[in-house]
Amino acid sequence: MGTVVGGIGLSHVPSIGPVVDRKRMEEPAWKPLFDAYVPVREWLRKLEPDVAIVVYNDHAADFSFDKYPTFALGVAERYAIGDEGFGTRPLPEVQGDLDLSIHLAETLIYEHEFDLTLCQEIAVEHGFLVPMNLCFPHQKDAWPVRAIPLQVNVVQHPLPTARRCYRLGQALRSAIEKFPNEVRVVVMGTGGMSHQLQGKRFGYMNEKFDQWFLDTLEKDPDALAQITHQRIMEEAGAEAVELIMWLTMRGAVRGTRVHRHYYAPMTTGMGLITFES
Protein backbone atom coordinates (compact mmCIF):
# COMPACT_ATOMS: atom_id res chain seq x y z
CA MET A 1 0.00 0.00 0.00
CA GLY A 2 1.00 3.62 -0.35
CA THR A 3 2.39 5.58 2.58
CA VAL A 4 2.64 9.31 3.12
CA VAL A 5 6.08 9.45 4.69
CA GLY A 6 6.37 13.20 5.00
CA GLY A 7 5.09 16.64 4.12
CA ILE A 8 6.79 19.92 3.30
CA GLY A 9 5.37 23.43 3.25
CA LEU A 10 7.61 25.83 1.36
CA SER A 11 7.68 28.97 -0.72
CA HIS A 12 8.17 28.82 -4.48
CA VAL A 13 9.64 32.29 -5.12
CA PRO A 14 10.58 32.48 -8.84
CA SER A 15 13.92 34.26 -8.35
CA ILE A 16 15.26 31.07 -6.71
CA GLY A 17 15.23 29.28 -10.09
CA PRO A 18 17.91 31.38 -11.82
CA VAL A 19 19.97 31.37 -8.61
CA VAL A 20 20.07 27.56 -8.81
CA ASP A 21 20.74 27.57 -12.56
CA ARG A 22 23.68 30.00 -12.16
CA LYS A 23 24.96 28.32 -8.99
CA ARG A 24 24.70 31.49 -6.88
CA MET A 25 23.53 29.59 -3.77
CA GLU A 26 26.58 30.59 -1.70
CA GLU A 27 26.06 34.34 -2.18
CA PRO A 28 25.47 36.03 1.19
CA ALA A 29 21.96 37.18 0.30
CA TRP A 30 20.90 33.65 -0.71
CA LYS A 31 22.97 31.40 1.55
CA PRO A 32 20.58 31.55 4.54
CA LEU A 33 17.78 30.16 2.38
CA PHE A 34 19.80 27.34 0.81
CA ASP A 35 21.50 26.40 4.09
CA ALA A 36 18.07 25.74 5.59
CA TYR A 37 17.51 23.00 3.01
CA VAL A 38 20.73 21.06 3.76
CA PRO A 39 19.19 19.15 6.70
CA VAL A 40 15.90 18.81 4.80
CA ARG A 41 17.64 17.03 1.92
CA GLU A 42 19.50 14.81 4.40
CA TRP A 43 16.16 13.95 6.04
CA LEU A 44 14.60 13.22 2.62
CA ARG A 45 17.45 10.85 1.74
CA LYS A 46 16.62 8.84 4.85
CA LEU A 47 12.87 8.91 4.14
CA GLU A 48 13.52 7.46 0.67
CA PRO A 49 10.37 8.73 -1.03
CA ASP A 50 9.47 7.30 -4.44
CA VAL A 51 7.07 10.06 -5.42
CA ALA A 52 6.55 13.74 -4.60
CA ILE A 53 3.05 15.13 -5.03
CA VAL A 54 3.55 18.85 -5.59
CA VAL A 55 0.55 21.04 -4.75
CA TYR A 56 1.27 24.26 -6.60
CA ASN A 57 -0.16 26.94 -8.81
CA ASP A 58 0.73 27.74 -12.37
CA HIS A 59 1.68 31.39 -13.01
CA ALA A 60 0.27 31.78 -16.53
CA ALA A 61 2.75 29.40 -18.12
CA ASP A 62 0.45 26.55 -19.10
CA PHE A 63 -3.03 27.27 -17.68
CA SER A 64 -5.06 30.22 -18.96
CA PHE A 65 -8.36 31.90 -18.19
CA ASP A 66 -10.20 30.53 -21.22
CA LYS A 67 -10.69 27.40 -19.11
CA TYR A 68 -9.40 27.60 -15.57
CA PRO A 69 -9.64 24.54 -13.34
CA THR A 70 -10.01 24.77 -9.57
CA PHE A 71 -8.05 21.56 -8.95
CA ALA A 72 -6.05 19.94 -11.78
CA LEU A 73 -4.17 16.66 -11.41
CA GLY A 74 -1.41 15.52 -13.76
CA VAL A 75 -2.09 12.07 -15.24
CA ALA A 76 0.92 11.31 -17.41
CA GLU A 77 4.25 9.48 -17.52
CA ARG A 78 6.20 12.72 -17.78
CA TYR A 79 5.83 16.50 -17.60
CA ALA A 80 7.64 19.06 -19.74
CA ILE A 81 9.44 22.14 -18.44
CA GLY A 82 7.36 25.23 -19.24
CA ASP A 83 8.31 28.66 -20.57
CA GLU A 84 6.80 31.35 -18.35
CA GLY A 85 7.84 34.14 -20.66
CA PHE A 86 11.50 34.20 -19.62
CA GLY A 87 12.75 31.14 -21.55
CA THR A 88 12.80 27.45 -20.65
CA ARG A 89 15.11 26.58 -17.77
CA PRO A 90 17.78 23.92 -18.48
CA LEU A 91 16.17 21.16 -16.42
CA PRO A 92 15.42 17.51 -17.17
CA GLU A 93 11.77 16.69 -17.81
CA VAL A 94 9.89 15.43 -14.81
CA GLN A 95 9.09 11.75 -14.58
CA GLY A 96 5.52 11.17 -13.38
CA ASP A 97 3.81 8.10 -11.95
CA LEU A 98 0.91 7.22 -14.22
CA ASP A 99 -0.43 4.33 -12.14
CA LEU A 100 -0.53 6.40 -8.97
CA SER A 101 -2.10 9.35 -10.82
CA ILE A 102 -4.88 7.16 -12.23
CA HIS A 103 -5.49 5.62 -8.82
CA LEU A 104 -5.65 9.08 -7.21
CA ALA A 105 -8.03 10.37 -9.88
CA GLU A 106 -10.39 7.40 -9.50
CA THR A 107 -10.33 7.40 -5.70
CA LEU A 108 -10.61 11.17 -5.25
CA ILE A 109 -13.50 11.41 -7.72
CA TYR A 110 -15.46 8.23 -6.92
CA GLU A 111 -14.92 7.94 -3.17
CA HIS A 112 -14.19 11.48 -2.01
CA GLU A 113 -16.22 13.36 -4.62
CA PHE A 114 -13.51 15.87 -5.53
CA ASP A 115 -14.27 16.72 -9.15
CA LEU A 116 -10.73 17.17 -10.38
CA THR A 117 -9.72 18.32 -13.84
CA LEU A 118 -7.44 15.62 -15.25
CA CYS A 119 -4.51 16.72 -17.38
CA GLN A 120 -2.50 14.49 -19.71
CA GLU A 121 -0.09 17.32 -20.47
CA ILE A 122 1.20 19.90 -18.02
CA ALA A 123 4.27 22.01 -18.61
CA VAL A 124 5.50 22.70 -15.09
CA GLU A 125 7.04 26.01 -14.04
CA HIS A 126 8.48 27.77 -11.02
CA GLY A 127 5.59 27.00 -8.70
CA PHE A 128 6.44 23.33 -9.12
CA LEU A 129 10.12 23.46 -10.06
CA VAL A 130 11.53 25.73 -7.34
CA PRO A 131 10.33 23.40 -4.56
CA MET A 132 11.81 20.48 -6.51
CA ASN A 133 15.10 22.38 -6.88
CA LEU A 134 15.25 23.02 -3.15
CA CYS A 135 14.29 19.52 -1.96
CA PHE A 136 15.30 17.15 -4.75
CA PRO A 137 18.30 18.50 -6.71
CA HIS A 138 18.36 17.03 -10.20
CA GLN A 139 21.20 15.32 -12.01
CA LYS A 140 22.00 15.97 -15.62
CA ASP A 141 19.18 13.89 -17.06
CA ALA A 142 16.85 13.09 -14.19
CA TRP A 143 15.28 14.03 -10.88
CA PRO A 144 15.78 11.69 -7.91
CA VAL A 145 12.03 11.10 -7.44
CA ARG A 146 8.97 10.74 -9.61
CA ALA A 147 6.58 13.67 -9.21
CA ILE A 148 2.88 14.41 -9.74
CA PRO A 149 1.60 17.98 -10.20
CA LEU A 150 -1.61 18.99 -8.42
CA GLN A 151 -2.42 22.48 -9.63
CA VAL A 152 -4.76 24.74 -7.61
CA ASN A 153 -6.49 27.96 -8.64
CA VAL A 154 -5.13 30.56 -6.23
CA VAL A 155 -5.18 33.31 -8.87
CA GLN A 156 -8.67 33.99 -10.21
CA HIS A 157 -11.33 34.43 -7.51
CA PRO A 158 -13.49 32.63 -6.51
CA LEU A 159 -10.76 30.30 -5.24
CA PRO A 160 -11.38 27.05 -3.37
CA THR A 161 -11.67 27.73 0.35
CA ALA A 162 -8.83 26.90 2.72
CA ARG A 163 -11.09 24.26 4.25
CA ARG A 164 -11.66 22.63 0.86
CA CYS A 165 -7.91 22.53 0.26
CA TYR A 166 -7.41 20.92 3.68
CA ARG A 167 -10.09 18.31 2.97
CA LEU A 168 -8.48 17.57 -0.38
CA GLY A 169 -5.29 16.80 1.53
CA GLN A 170 -7.14 14.45 3.89
CA ALA A 171 -8.72 12.70 0.90
CA LEU A 172 -5.34 12.52 -0.81
CA ARG A 173 -3.86 10.73 2.18
CA SER A 174 -6.70 8.22 2.26
CA ALA A 175 -6.36 7.64 -1.49
CA ILE A 176 -2.59 7.12 -1.26
CA GLU A 177 -3.09 4.57 1.52
CA LYS A 178 -5.46 2.60 -0.71
CA PHE A 179 -2.93 2.32 -3.53
CA PRO A 180 -2.34 -1.45 -3.98
CA ASN A 181 1.44 -1.22 -4.44
CA GLU A 182 4.20 -0.14 -2.08
CA VAL A 183 4.95 3.51 -2.70
CA ARG A 184 6.46 6.12 -0.38
CA VAL A 185 5.03 9.58 -0.97
CA VAL A 186 6.03 13.08 0.12
CA VAL A 187 3.39 15.78 -0.26
CA MET A 188 4.59 19.33 -0.85
CA GLY A 189 2.38 22.39 -0.29
CA THR A 190 3.95 25.38 -1.98
CA GLY A 191 3.57 29.15 -2.26
CA GLY A 192 3.61 32.33 -0.20
CA MET A 193 4.15 33.24 2.50
CA SER A 194 3.24 36.92 2.92
CA HIS A 195 3.62 38.92 -0.28
CA GLN A 196 1.81 41.34 -2.51
CA LEU A 197 3.01 42.00 -6.05
CA GLN A 198 0.69 44.78 -7.26
CA GLY A 199 -0.73 48.13 -6.26
CA LYS A 200 0.72 50.68 -3.87
CA ARG A 201 1.05 47.84 -1.36
CA PHE A 202 3.59 46.08 -3.63
CA GLY A 203 6.30 44.53 -1.46
CA TYR A 204 4.14 44.20 1.65
CA MET A 205 5.22 41.44 4.05
CA ASN A 206 4.09 40.47 7.54
CA GLU A 207 6.48 38.23 9.44
CA LYS A 208 4.21 38.14 12.48
CA PHE A 209 1.40 36.66 10.41
CA ASP A 210 3.79 34.20 8.74
CA GLN A 211 5.15 32.94 12.07
CA TRP A 212 1.60 32.59 13.41
CA PHE A 213 0.65 30.63 10.28
CA LEU A 214 3.60 28.26 10.80
CA ASP A 215 2.71 27.83 14.50
CA THR A 216 -0.93 27.11 13.76
CA LEU A 217 -0.25 24.87 10.78
CA GLU A 218 1.76 22.69 13.15
CA LYS A 219 -0.40 22.81 16.27
CA ASP A 220 -3.98 23.33 15.15
CA PRO A 221 -4.47 22.79 11.42
CA ASP A 222 -8.20 22.12 11.88
CA ALA A 223 -8.60 25.67 13.18
CA LEU A 224 -6.29 27.14 10.55
CA ALA A 225 -8.41 25.54 7.82
CA GLN A 226 -11.23 27.93 8.81
CA ILE A 227 -9.20 30.97 7.70
CA THR A 228 -10.77 33.11 4.97
CA HIS A 229 -9.12 34.38 1.80
CA GLN A 230 -10.06 37.88 2.96
CA ARG A 231 -8.08 37.56 6.18
CA ILE A 232 -4.99 36.13 4.48
CA MET A 233 -5.01 38.87 1.84
CA GLU A 234 -5.61 41.69 4.31
CA GLU A 235 -2.98 40.58 6.80
CA ALA A 236 -0.37 39.04 4.52
CA GLY A 237 -0.92 40.58 1.06
CA ALA A 238 -3.11 39.58 -1.87
CA GLU A 239 -0.71 37.01 -3.34
CA ALA A 240 -0.22 35.35 0.07
CA VAL A 241 -3.49 33.54 -0.54
CA GLU A 242 -1.31 30.82 -2.10
CA LEU A 243 -0.89 29.65 1.50
CA ILE A 244 -4.14 27.71 1.25
CA MET A 245 -2.11 25.10 -0.65
CA TRP A 246 -0.04 24.42 2.49
CA LEU A 247 -3.26 23.16 4.07
CA THR A 248 -3.56 20.46 1.41
CA MET A 249 -0.13 19.22 2.44
CA ARG A 250 -1.08 19.39 6.13
CA GLY A 251 -4.34 17.52 5.50
CA ALA A 252 -2.31 14.72 3.95
CA VAL A 253 0.34 14.46 6.68
CA ARG A 254 -0.15 13.57 10.32
CA GLY A 255 2.83 13.34 12.60
CA THR A 256 5.40 15.66 14.04
CA ARG A 257 7.22 18.72 12.81
CA VAL A 258 10.88 18.24 11.92
CA HIS A 259 12.24 21.46 10.34
CA ARG A 260 11.17 25.08 10.40
CA HIS A 261 12.79 28.15 8.83
CA TYR A 262 11.89 31.66 7.76
CA TYR A 263 13.73 34.18 5.60
CA ALA A 264 12.30 37.35 4.09
CA PRO A 265 14.96 39.24 2.13
CA MET A 266 13.01 40.99 -0.63
CA THR A 267 9.26 40.82 -1.24
CA THR A 268 8.14 37.40 0.01
CA GLY A 269 8.28 35.66 3.34
CA MET A 270 10.04 32.42 2.42
CA GLY A 271 8.83 29.81 4.89
CA LEU A 272 9.78 26.20 5.31
CA ILE A 273 8.19 23.57 7.52
CA THR A 274 8.39 19.79 7.38
CA PHE A 275 6.40 16.99 9.01
CA GLU A 276 7.21 13.32 9.34
CA SER A 277 4.48 10.71 9.61
Partner 1 sequence: MLHPIPDTSLFDLRLSRRGYRLNKLCAALCSPHERDAFKRDEEAFMARFALTDAEKDLIRKRDFQGLIDAGTNIYYLLKIGSVTGNGLYKMGAQMRGETYEQFLSTRNISGAT
The binding site for partner 1 (CB under 8 A) comprises 15, 27-30, 33, 59-61, 64-65, 82-87, 155-158, 196-203, 229-230, 233-234, 237-239, 264-267
Closer CB to partner 1, 110 or 202, in the complex: 202
Catalytic residue, chosen from 103, 126, 229, 261, is 126
Smallest distance from the beta carbon of 238 to partner 1, in angstroms?
Answer: 5
Backbone angles phi, psi at 154, to 5 degrees: -120, 20
Closer CB to partner 1, 167 or 195, in the complex: 195
CA 172 to chain centre: 14
SS (H, E, C) 221-264: HHHHCCCCHHHHHHHHCHHHHHHHHHHHHHHHCCCEEEEEEEEC
Angstrom distance (rounded) from CA 103 to CA 180: 9
Contact status, residue 82 vs residue 39, Cβ threshold 8 Å: no
Residue of 144, 193, 190, 185 whose CA lies nearest to 41 = 144
Smallest distance from the beta carbon of 4 to partner 1, in angstroms?
Answer: 30
Closer CB to partner 1, 16 or 172, in the complex: 16
The C-alpha angle with vertex 114 and arms to 105 and 192, in degrees rounded to 5, equals: 95
Smallest distance from the beta carbon of 67 to partner 1, in angstroms?
Answer: 12
Catalytic residue, chosen from 195, 229, 259, 261, is 195
Contact status, residue 242 vs residue 57, Cβ threshold 8 Å: yes
Closer CB to partner 1, 29 or 102, in the complex: 29
Asked if 157 is an active-site residue, the reply is no
Smallest distance from the beta carbon of 265 to partner 1, in angstroms?
Answer: 4
Note the maximum CA span of the chain.
52
CA 36 to chain centre: 17
Closer CB to partner 1, 31 or 41, in the complex: 31
Closer CB to partner 1, 171 or 205, in the complex: 205
Smallest distance from the beta carbon of 203 to partner 1, in angstroms?
Answer: 6
Angstrom distance (rounded) from CA 108 to CA 175: 7
Which burial class, exposed, middle or buried, applies to 145 when counting CB atoms under 10 A from its CB (0-12, 13-18, 19+)?
A: buried
Smallest distance from the beta carbon of 69 to partner 1, in angstroms?
Answer: 14
Residue 173 DSSP class: H
Asked if 12 is an active-site residue, the reply is no
Catalytic residue numbers read 126, 195
